[in-house]
Amino acid sequence: MGSQSDDQSLVFTYAIIFSLLLFTFQYNKTEAYDEDSKMVSQKVNLSVYYEALNPSCSSFIVKNLAQIFDNGLHTIINLRLVPWGNAFFNKSTNTTVCQNGSDECKLNTLQACTINVLHDVNKHFALIYCFEFLAIEGRHKEWGSCFTSLGLPPKLVMDCFNSLNGTLLEQKHAVETAQLNPPHTVLPWVVVNNQSIGNDYRNYSSYVCKAYKGIPVPMACH
């Protein structure tokens, strides 16, 4: 009877591995297509400002943003993930304070390092997707299992996390988030080509499609 939890974990592991393979396949196929169709220069900038343990952010990443790899939207965007959100620096104690506690600060930095060292968007998004999936399930402390599930070596990410580099990355994200114009009022805060879409963030694809001027048009924009 105790095998049900193990079975669920196994299903999750296979799902993540399949997702990574799918992302990689679609990415490679698309890159070749991009070279032929000259789509690259037409890409739309899509920036997502978020924090790791905010339920709305986790849900958006897992249930909404991940769809870009299924509907072809990833072929026409430059995706930027900025994990900071409502965190702030306490100057008196020289520490970072996060809205959802110290675990969130750790995961924000971990995700900043993931983005920084895993330049392939398919790989760093897959890892962040896994982190946020666990957060939704209340298992965010098991984040280390994501490296194993995805077959990704943790060394580069952890070297960044355990060094000053992780702190410096988060400081950059703090400055960028503070300079948002207009300032963010909800999380996630989604920006398309420097234009915030505010509370309508779940409808981000329509804004991307409207901003995209290239051809051909991906399935998401039909």
Condensed to tens digits (0 to 9), the pLDDT of residues 45-101 reads 999 999 999 999 999 999 999 999 999 999 999 999 999 999 999 988 889 999 999
Both tokens of 54, joined, read: 């905010």
Check residue 41 and give its pLDDT.
63
Check residue 215 and give its pLDDT.
87
Both tokens of 213, joined, read: 């001027």
CA distance 46 to 81: 9
Check residue 16 and give its pLDDT.
54
Structure confidence at residue 190 as a pLDDT band (50, 70, 90): very high
Of residues 54, 29, 58, 53, the one with CA closest to residue 106: 53
**How confident is the model over 121-148, as pLDDT tens digits?**
999 999 999 999 999 999 999 999 999 9
Flag whether pLDDT at 7 surpasses 50: no
pTM for this predicted structure: 0.84
CA distance 165 to 160: 5
**How confident is the model over 152-177, as pLDDT tens digits?**
999 999 999 999 999 999 999 999 99
Check residue 195 and give its pLDDT.
97
Structure confidence at residue 40 as a pLDDT band (50, 70, 90): low
**How confident is the model over 12-31, as pLDDT tens digits?**
544 554 455 455 444 444 44
Check residue 39 and give its pLDDT.
52
Of residues 116, 115, 121, 119, the one with CA closest to residue 30: 121
Flag whether pLDDT at 117 surpasses 50: yes
Flag whether pLDDT at 149 surpasses 60: yes
Work out the average pLDDT over 203-208.
98
Check residue 94 and give its pLDDT.
86
Residues in CB range of 10: below 8 A, 6 or more apart: none
What is the per-residue DSSP string for the chain? -THHHHHHHHHHHHHHHHHHHHHHHHHHHHHHHHHHHT-GGGPEEEEEEE-TT-HHHHHIIIIIGGGGGTSSGGGGEEEEEEE-TT-EEETTTTEEE-TT-HHHHHHHHHHHHHHHH--SHHHHHHHHHHHHHHHHTT-GGGTTHHHHHHT--SHHHHHHHTSHHHHHHHHHHHHHHHT-SSPP-SSSEEEETTEE-GGGGGGHHHHHHHH---SSPPGGG-
